[in-house]
Chains A and B, each alone.
Chain A
Amino acid sequence: MKTLSTPQPMRNRAIQVLLLVLLSLGLLILGSQAFAAMAPANSVIGNQASATYVDSTATTRTSTSNTVQTTVAQVKSFLLTQSGMKSASPNQQVCYPHTVTNTGNGSDTYALNAPTTGGMFAHTSLAYYLDADQNGAPDNGSAITASGPLAAGAAFNFVVCGTTPVGATVGQQGTIIVSATDTNAPTANTQSQTDTTTIAVASITVAKRLSSVPPPGYTPVPSGPSPNAGPLYVILDYVNSGTVQGDNVQITDVLPSGWLYVPGSGRWSGSGMSVLTDAAGGDPVGITYSAPAMAVSGTIAATVTAVSGSTSGNLYFQITIAPNLAVTVPGNQAVTTNTASYQYSYTYFNAVTMMNQTVMVPSTNTNSVLYSVLPVAGVVANGSSSTTGATDAEPVTVAGAGAGQTISWTDYIWNTGNGVDTFDIALLNTPLNGSGCAVTNNAMLGQCTFPVGTTFQILAAGGMTTLLDSNMNSTPDTGPIPMPSGMTCPAPYIASTSMPARCGLPIVITATIPAGAPAGNNGGNGFQVLVGATSSVNPTVTESVPNRLNAIAAATVDLTNNVSVVGGAVVADGLGPDNLSVITSNSVTPAVAASTTTRFRLHVNNTSTVAQIYNLSGTFVSVPVGVGLSTPPAGWTIAFRDDGGLGNCTTVGGTVTSTGAVPIAPAGNRLICAEVVVPSTNSSAMGTPTLAPPGNYVLQFRAEQQSDNTVFDTKRDQITVQPVHSVTITPNGAQSTVPGGAVTYTHAVTNSGNVSESITFPTAGFLTNSQVPTYAWSTTAYVDTNMNGMLDIGTDTPIAVGMTTFMLPPNGSQTVFVRVNAPAMAGSPPNVTTLTATYNAGGSTASANDTTTLTDGLKLDKYQQLPAGTGSCTTTPAVTLTMGVPNAPWSNMAIAASANTVPGRCISYLIVGTNTTAANITNINVSDLVPAHTALDTGCGAPAVTGPIALTGGPYATGYTGMVTAASSPLTTTPLPPATSFTLQFCVKINDI
């Protein structure tokens, strides 16, 4: 009677396996949580802070910090797998496969400690052997004691072999304990595993191999690409090293997800090249076989009916490696690791029970075979945030930018390889942050066609921080771009939506166009720079994405009047290029004696894309013709001022020559007050043309980009100067004479306006005497025909009513005389003679009054001069009288307005009194008023007298205003003899305005 039983040690082992499975499952669950892999030893962890802000120019800017770096130290750890169970006959060598996996973050070497044995019997001849092909058998006969250097994540495969004793009996179990130790300091880590051998009379062992050729050949395939180049052979060798037949040897091989079965490929050594049918049934005698009917992962199940003692055979089939598998690392080995299991039974005669006994040998795993997927580098650089085609969304294009502007592109670097890879990023043939495109050969290569001086930066996603160099090769890189987990990638990496899913990294490239770059589109080709990504796994793998700018737009500025561009300026305000039309016209009526200011409101509008400063200038385009003005006209000034704060130039600030140190932001503007000073109508010298004749003065204002003087705008404004009619007759005179005497007054008829005047005397009233007809005063006026400044009766032309006329141009002057004859009889009050001239086509008149006083014989004359000829306030003019007349330049004529008659200059006055009688004159009192808007100044002569008079009143210090007086001294006894004179002299300064 057959009895099925499972030995107790095997049940315990089964529980251990279950626990291991659960533990593995737990680890898998843990592994599914999102956490970063261990930082690699000697890698560098860098960082760089940044910030965005808005500066005082309302421009958004970004600043970055220095970088900090930390080098990752090595941490050592490893994993030793796996425990094994086998059955064996007495005196049979058994081998158990094991793997050391480096789970630290750097390379390490592992010592294989001498194996020990225990249990119910002792294995002998224990030793370790290399099992690089993972077939569960020694690769050669050389025992090993260490792994040799093992990179982080790498695995080392070996077997431990021992021989069961001759005297071992069926059912006995012996163990082999293997252990490995790393080089961690100061305390090394050791791990161990236990293998268990059970003595059986039918001892079937199944071992697995992966070969590129079918049996009997064998070429191990421990690694390769994904997918592999051709089908691979999975060989399951079985051997019965016992003496009893094994029955119903069931071999079950569950293929991992990375292995795909080749339908119809099953073969069995017991049936030669006969095909094992994948479907149930139809197999050769002695075996049943089932497998997937298509190229998928699945379960291959075979049962060999009987395996006699001391015989062997094999079963094999083909698989392919699935495409797009990630590079094999400790965490994903299960994808390409294959372990089969087998179980069988046997029946033997139990000498103790004297009965046949059937033993069910529980399922035992074969050795595991790992196909390590080797890294295959692949990269795509494109402009797509979701797809990985090499030319997707290329070129990455910016439509336009202005000179001086910084533009950016976002590129995507996709890892299309099968493992983690870091990609160096570089601009092809283009240095960073320096001289811009290396132009040499670029025209041919097309790698960089930006203008010379363009500077580039490679930034991380978001464009705020520099893309760092994570692998310390002095080139910025992406950092390790992982393989996706399903359809997701850990941040900062993104997953593609195109299949197969890939992880990618967005990066940002910026280009700063030089300020002086000319506008254009490079002959329609635009401007381009190639951004290259190069694999660190395989530096020959590289791809690039073109970043393009279609055109560099011309920088522009627009100068408008009164309204800014953003405020709604239209063409009539000067919007757009200068069309040579006058935009704004200011009407100005200039003053006769003072300048006049008029202002234009200019808005300097930055219509470019970069903040700019603009220089300001203004010129005269045209001035009234035929009036002797040059362009620009003398005496006119143009200045630019800040607005005073009211926003309309009614008040102004300081003078400026540009829009200021703070650049005008794009689309911004600044109000500038253009101030034009119009000179007075009589500001130039007498006899020369006025500086402010009437007419239109067209000005052109210009705003010019400070960094590029080819960028500017102009506009035209106009000042219309109105006619000014202004004629004066000066001075008013005051003299004295005796009854029957006569005096002559000299006057200047002066045109201080800005248009020529016809001077006429149209009515008899042009010359009147205030005491006529009561007293017999008579008067005649003359034109100084011979222009000698002296009245030459008989030569100079008497002015006749309605007949006399003469032209006076602006700044022109004509001398006229008024001859006043006193009545023969005394007693007349002072007589005022008024001379009136008509101008402005009869619309205006000018007059002068001469006051003549009858005396008993004391004749008073008043003279004046500018000290030193310049109005000096430190020079006292000398006086020499000849026949009662002072020396030149003392004069009783008016002093023409000039630069010497401005505030701060001085005028000296001289009063000469002459006794025109035959008797002495006593009791003389003489006085003169310091003129309005002046004050006494002693620097050019304190009040002084000559002759028999002395100063009275006073004190006469500098600044004195009022009467300057003198009198005979003593008043009643000191005579002024006949034909003698006295003088009174003083000096005044013209007040400051």
Chain B
Amino acid sequence: MRDETLKRIHTVGRLLRYGPVLITLGMPGFAQKSQAGSSNPLEITLSRSKVVIENGKEVSKKADVAKPGDVIEDLATYRNTSGSALKDFVPMLPVPPNTELILGSVNPGNAKASTDGRTFSDMPLRRKVRQANGVELEQLVPLSEYRYLRWYPGEIGAGKSQGYSARFKLSDGVPGSPVTAQK
């Protein structure tokens, strides 16, 4: 069971890396609009779906319930409801607790990631670890420690919409896809 699930995740990852990226997997039935006040020119709608493989094809399902090892996709749609462009637009999508980012699923793929919400770097994340002998080695940060994604599109035009998405595996106590496999 676990191996099959991992295989599905890898398959999804390959599809996302090499095939057309679908970001319209949102389930309107369980998406809600931001409750921001009317003066807020940026409307953000977050939707979630569960990604499964049925008969060799990727299918989106409702994500109200999922089990460890399942893959969910969060899609944030940003809409500028004002009459002028919003500058320095930086959308952010957290990696939910008890989940692990599927690296190749980030769309658009030029996002930066962070483990603390403050320092964002290109993926895959790396860090220096001091060994017992005092020597510092650069290591890849485990995917389970990725907690935030940010994009830097610059601006969102008046009346325009933009979508940003990523997929996450519900933690199942098994190490996720090796980061190096995503290179």
Which A positions have Cβ atoms within 8 angstroms of B?
Answer: 30, 33-40, 43, 45-56, 60-61, 63-75, 103, 105, 460-462, 464-465, 470, 479-480, 490-492, 494
Contacts and interface: CB of A to CB of B under 8 A. Distances in A.
A38 B171 contact: yes
A643 to B, nearest CB: 21
Contacts of A36: 98-100, 144, 171, 173
B46 A47 contact: yes
B117 A66 contact: no
Given A69-B64, A491-B146, 16 more contacts: A33-B175, A34-B142, A34-B145, A34-B175, A43-B98, A45-B72, A45-B99, A49-B94, A51-B91, A55-B86, A56-B84, A65-B34, A66-B33, A70-B66, A461-B117, A462-B118
A70 B72 contact: yes
A465 B34 contact: no
A465 B95 CA distance: 12
Nearest to B118: A462
B93 A47 contact: yes
A39 B176 CA distance: 14
A464 B46 contact: no
A49 B82 contact: no
Contacts of A39: 68, 98-99, 170-172
Contacts of A54: 86-88
B48 interface: yes
25 contacts: A35-B171, A35-B176, A36-B100, A38-B173, A47-B74, A47-B94, A48-B46, A49-B44, A49-B76, A49-B94, A49-B164, A51-B90, A52-B89, A52-B92, A53-B155, A56-B84, A64-B34, A68-B47, A70-B72, A72-B65, A460-B94, A460-B117, A461-B118, A462-B117, A479-B97
A73 B171 contact: no
A211 B152 CA distance: 62
Contacts of B171: 35-39
Contacts of B68: 38-39, 72, 75, 105
Contact of B41 (A48, A55, A462): A55
Interface in B55-98: 63-69, 72, 74, 76, 78, 82, 84, 86-94, 96-98
Contacts of A49: 44, 46, 74, 76, 91-94, 164
* Residue among B36, B88, B90, B98 with the highest chain A CB neighbour number at 10 A: B98
A479 to B, nearest CB: 5
Contacts of B42: 51, 53, 61, 63
Interface in B142-183: 142, 144-148, 155-156, 164, 170-176
Interface of B: 30-36, 40-48, 50, 63-69, 72, 74, 76, 78, 82, 84, 86-94, 96-100, 115-118, 142, 144-148, 155-156, 164, 170-176
B118 to A, nearest CB: 6
Nearest to A470: B97
B67 A73 contact: yes
B96 A47 contact: yes
Nearest to B66: A70
A105 B92 CA distance: 30
A441 B35 CA distance: 32
Contacts of B30: 68
A105 B99 CA distance: 14
B156 A53 contact: yes
Contacts of A64: 34, 36, 44
Contact of B44 (A63, A461, A490, A491): A63
Nearest to B69: A75
A65 B45 contact: yes
A461 B78 CA distance: 22
B71 to A, nearest CB: 11
B102 to A, nearest CB: 14
A480 B48 CA distance: 23
Contacts of B145: 34, 490-491
* 9 A-B pairs with the lowest CB-CB distances in the bound complex, closest first: A462-B117, A49-B76, A65-B44, A491-B115, A66-B32, A34-B142, A36-B171, A39-B98, A73-B67
Contacts of B176: 35
A50 B44 CA distance: 7
B97 A70 contact: no
Contacts of B46: 47-49, 65-68
B105 to A, nearest CB: 14
* Residue among A54, A61, A66 with the highest chain B CB neighbour number at 10 A: A66
A66 B34 contact: yes
A68 B74 contact: yes
A465 B86 contact: no
B48 A47 contact: yes
Contacts of B88: 52-54, 60
A831 B74 CA distance: 104
Contact of B92 (A51, A56, A71): A51
A53 B144 contact: no
B156 to A, nearest CB: 7
Given A39-B170, A53-B42, A53-B87, A66 B35 contact: yes
B74 to A, nearest CB: 5
A51 B67 contact: no
Nearest to B90: A52
Given A34-B145, A36-B100, A464 B67 contact: no
Contacts of B116: 461-462, 491-492, 494
A46 B175 CA distance: 21
B172 A38 contact: yes
* Residue among A53, A56, A60 with the highest chain B CB neighbour number at 10 A: A53
A65 B115 CA distance: 21
Contacts of B66: 45, 70-73
Given A72-B67, A105-B68, A491-B115, A50 B92 contact: yes
Nearest to A49: B76
B89 A51 contact: yes
Contacts of B117: 460-462, 464, 492
Contacts of A470: 97
